Structure 1
């Protein structure tokens, strides 16, 4: 039985659908970012139901859910939440179904702030499934978050959500949806040795995260038989990426593609630094002591938790601040973590205004993010607007050293992310031993920290972990800055 979620996985990559069915243990586990996405989706679903009073919640999945749905319809229900339908080998669980005359209008609820490419196909799959189940579908709608809404008091479901009529777009997509459904069914039917089929089908062989996982399950002793069957361009892509090793390709075929040496060179990662020493020296000559190294941790929710916030507006709940008052001076550290379930804006802004001197450069990694948070804090806490905007006026983005090519290393892999730069420039520092290792984990931890139901023991551990992570972010900036300064003098 092809589910809607598996159909959407198929649209992303046919290899992914095959792995879900045959080798699910190879797929990466749900991480903090994905779990937050699920949690936000559940919040939005709850508010969407408020748009339709007197709705009936349908319990169960698959066959049980379909039976309960049929029973509710037979009983005269006209608004259904989470109804399930099955027909012709496919099944779906809709978000909201509303009866209008002799037909039913279909509503798909998303936590996004607008229409995305997959939404039409999502609705098209559901429409096909409903029609296969004998349901006459009227109009099809997308319900999404309205990011222009600002909370003032109790959240208004009609304000925080927007409804878009996609009936015509879905009708236009139905032929393609039916074709893709048939292809997805064939993929589900493939054996555990699917061979070349999906290696040929993947639409993004140069970047698809599922292709290497899939290839690793089939490229064994029969790889000599597999490689010649691939189109030459596809085989070249897989060799360049390392999905297929040169030794697993017949020699004559490999030579016709350029030989093993070419692909080994393409795969080699030779550390190579390119440092503009004069440029670095000019850059850092503009900085004024004391130097403040600042980093924020933030939380954003689809349904704003506090007055004055828009959906997904970042609420700053924590900062770490390292201060260097003179060259070679003693490093000082200050930090703040708001651990109550109230709006953190005023406590954070007040602590920050106290901890940062009125003079001296403020060094961050990604100025656009921190400066935007300061502007938002200034609007939320007008009495502290002056010190917050003063921070922005003195802000220096250390990430620009990498982005502008003043310090480059091939091991950055083309990224200016702090998590990519740190292990290369300062290998002695690592996030690996921390319980909170990235911003998504921090954002997921803060609601738990402020939840009254969280035990005191757990709160203590969360507080320790959040402080340790944010502190390492600013310490990393300090040490990277020192390494850049040293490089400018060599």
Structure 2
């Protein structure tokens, strides 16, 4: 039986109960073992997984949307960047290491190896394979960024000082710090254990490379040369300088990508891969098939265990033993009502449970009213739409930069005084060229220096975009700083913000509690969940109804005839307008409580 990397890893995830809420429906089909699968089928599975992974990285930071919504349109949108990354990574490998390089992100064109064990044949397809007289280097390219490897994300303590888990060599490559530093503390190896865990956000990439090594090292046809194993990722510190070639195509330097030599790290996972292979073989012999019911463990669509806020931190039983979500699910606790009340040791979870049991929403009226009192008029309700490309498009941008192409503003001059149409202002780029300056200048014309609050929903997104504008256009730094200082997050009133309410005089305990909960939220305070509770407005049936739709629509600007373009342009305006009007409606409803 032939098995691909994606099949192998997905089945290990399923068997370890790591995947119920994160595996896409397509992965069910991709994970099924079958004697009918040919090598070409495995290649198709791997190709599909590669591009879906690219989409996952596009949305993982900024979106509530699920990846199985309009997946084909998303793939079409990201494919040019995927192909460009292939070219850039291959060039960087050739320039850095020389020798003979076989590099391609298309599985059908890759170097491949296999390992036959007990009638199971594992296959690996290598993104990059480089060979010279002394060494063979294997490369696995991930469309994620080096930020996941950064000092801020992964560090260990030595003599009360923090040190990076990965160290940059003079050659420019990064290696595990144990490669260059002796007598490391226990804290280093505790952090390393996380990196070797498939469930870790970075560990999943390292496991991926470890699988490639495991298959290659057991292939009877491998050469006897020394071998190294690398992850290739986008450099999160790379800033595009705006250079283009004679055809107007962006020119990127080789330092757009970073190389992580993880040879010593993935070697430590050899025994784990052997154990996992035995587990997969047992699944096949026992005829255990992964299907949707197994993945979801009959988890209900409404009021599932996942709706509890901070549930990723687990729960505590009567003996104060930590219980992870997977522990509970494997014991048949899949509904929010299944879990014993005594396990709900967080006040916010207790509030949620009471709301579900009683069928009545919860409000902390005092906190909501005190929060609203902090607003200053006129209120500028502000929302940005952006295109999140893996490769920077314009000068000053970095990989996966949120490149703003649209904004919407509703101006509320006094409490409740705002007309949906007459008090609306906005900007939408006419094409996919660099229109950022025009956008910023238009915004600065609309938002006056009058001290009025600038209301947003989830402040980190708009604040970061404004800070980026300061870097792109330093001549407007002070005016943009004025806007940043006036930002006010409506989510602080709808949900909570501990620091905000402590400054208003609330106790630490009450400041930590949510201000509002309704069963229809289902654990999410996204504006699309909140709006229908306070208004008759809805995003349903809108041609552009979420951030993914907006990106897809913007990306099509240069592919449409005049009539199609005008319709899509207006659809985008209406969508972004809905976002800011939603804030007006929600705020007005909260005032009237």
Q: Alignment partner for residue 412 of structure 1, among 499, 521, 526?
A: 521
* 1:73-88 equivalences in 2 (<5 Å): 82-88=110-116
For the residues of structure 1 that align with 2:271 and 2:204, how far apart are their CA atoms?
Answer: 15
Q: What's the secondary structure of 2:333's corresponding residue? A: helix
Counterparts in 2 of 1:190 and 1:356: CA distance versus 1, 3 Å: farther
- Aligned-pair CA distance for 1:473: 0.9
Q: Alignment partner for residue 153 of structure 1, among 222, 225, 242?
A: 242
Segments of 5+ residues of structure 2 without an aligned counterpart are: 34-44, 46-65, 95-99, 150-201, 244-250, 301-325, 339-352, 498-513
Q: Alignment partner for residue 135 of structure 1, among 211, 216, 222?
A: 222
Segments of 5+ residues of structure 1 without an aligned counterpart are: 66-80, 200-208, 215-232, 246-264
Q: Verify the 8 A CA contact 1:292 1:324 in the aligned structure 2.
A: yes
- Aligned-pair CA distance for 1:394: 1.8
Q: Alignment partner for residue 570 of structure 2, among 435, 441, 464?
A: 464
Structure number with higher helix proportion? 1
- Aligned-pair CA distance for 1:372: 1.4
Counterparts in 2 of 1:271 and 1:19: CA distance versus 1, 3 Å: farther
- Aligned-pair CA distance for 1:333: 1.0
For the residues of structure 2 that align with 1:347 and 1:275, how far apart are their CA atoms?
Answer: 42
Count of residue correspondences: 416
For the residues of structure 2 that align with 1:37 and 1:398, how far apart are their CA atoms?
Answer: 32
Q: Alignment partner for residue 464 of structure 2, among 358, 372, 379?
A: 372
Give the alignment's Cα RMSD to 1 decimal.
3.5
Q: Alignment partner for residue 86 of structure 2, among 33, 40, 45?
A: 45
For the residues of structure 2 that align with 1:349 and 1:101, how far apart are their CA atoms?
Answer: 55
Q: Verify the 8 A CA contact 2:392 2:398 in the aligned structure 1.
A: yes
- Aligned-pair CA distance for 1:393: 1.9
For the residues of structure 1 that align with 2:105 and 2:515, how far apart are their CA atoms?
Answer: 59
Give 2:69's aligned residue.
31
- Aligned-pair CA distance for 1:371: 1.3
After TM superposition, the score normalised by the length of structure 2 is: 0.63
* 1:369-448 equivalences in 2 (<5 Å): 369-401=461-493, 402-404=495-497, 405-426=514-535, 428-448=536-556
- Aligned-pair CA distance for 1:434: 1.6
Give 2:269's aligned residue.
173
Give 2:55's aligned residue.
none
Counterparts in 2 of 1:143 and 1:378: CA distance versus 1, 3 Å: same
Q: Verify the 8 A CA contact 2:539 2:545 in the aligned structure 1.
A: yes
Q: Alignment partner for residue 98 of structure 1, among 104, 121, 130?
A: 130
Counterparts in 2 of 1:337 and 1:194: CA distance versus 1, 3 Å: closer
- Aligned-pair CA distance for 1:314: 1.5
For the residues of structure 2 that align with 1:188 and 1:38, how far apart are their CA atoms?
Answer: 35
Deviations 1:413-461 (CA, angstroms, capped at 9, x unpaired): 33332122222222x1111112322223322332222xx3444344334
Q: What's the secondary structure of 1:212's corresponding residue? A: coil
After TM superposition, the score normalised by the length of structure 1 is: 0.75
* 1:205-220 equivalences in 2 (<5 Å): 210-212=296-298
Deviations 1:247-294 (CA, angstroms, capped at 9, x unpaired): xxxxxxxxxxxxxxxxxx999564332323333333222322222111
For the residues of structure 1 that align with 2:106 and 2:487, how far apart are their CA atoms?
Answer: 54
Q: What's the secondary structure of 2:92's corresponding residue? A: coil
The answer to whether the aligner puts 1:125 opposite 2:211 as a matched pair is: yes
Q: Verify the 8 A CA contact 2:129 2:137 in the aligned structure 1.
A: yes
Q: Verify the 8 A CA contact 1:140 1:166 in the aligned structure 2.
A: yes
Deviations 1:141-175 (CA, angstroms, capped at 9, x unpaired): 11111111111134434211110110111111122
Deviations 1:363-413 (CA, angstroms, capped at 9, x unpaired): 110112111111111221223323322222222111001124333334323
Deviations 1:105-164 (CA, angstroms, capped at 9, x unpaired): 101111111352122221121123223431236100111111111111344342111101
The answer to whether the aligner puts 1:241 opposite 2:349 as a matched pair is: no
- Aligned-pair CA distance for 1:322: 1.1
